[in-house]
Amino acid sequence: MGKKILLVLVLILLVTPFSPTAGWSHYHHGGVALAWGVTGFFLGSTLAAFTYRPPPVVYAAPPPVYYPPVSNYAPAVPPGMCRWERYVLDRYGRTLLDQYGRPVKEYTLGSCQYPPY
């Protein structure tokens, strides 16, 4: 709804200099009021467009955080169960690395038919 109102206001501002009641109402200026109005509108628009600079957007990912591995060893598997493993991810979806640069794995025991996650 806000975009529609803004669009209507911009359209009104664009059409106003060309409307006969607003543009030609100054009959004692010799008919140049419309020219002054349109010229001022376009000059003002050009100056506003050149002077406005949107702020720069900087996307910087935070440095990776090291978490000590909770269980970085493969546990013994009892009969009738399976060992499931996956890489540990941080909150940005990146793989966590240990102090030697290897990915940290997480192990879980569970049913062999369905993953526990």
The pLDDT value given to residue 23: 47
> H/E element holding 51?
helix 33-51
Give the global pTM: 0.35
- Summarised one tens digit per residue, pLDDT across range 37-66 is 788 888 888 888 888 888 887 777 776 666
- Summarised one tens digit per residue, pLDDT across range 6-39 is 888 888 877 776 666 544 555 555 567 777 778 8
Report the distance separating Cα 111 and Cα 81, nearest Å.
5
Placement of tokens 């059409």 in the chain: 15
The ranges assigned to domains in the chain are 2-51, 67-117
Structure tokens that stand for 92 in this block: 């940005």
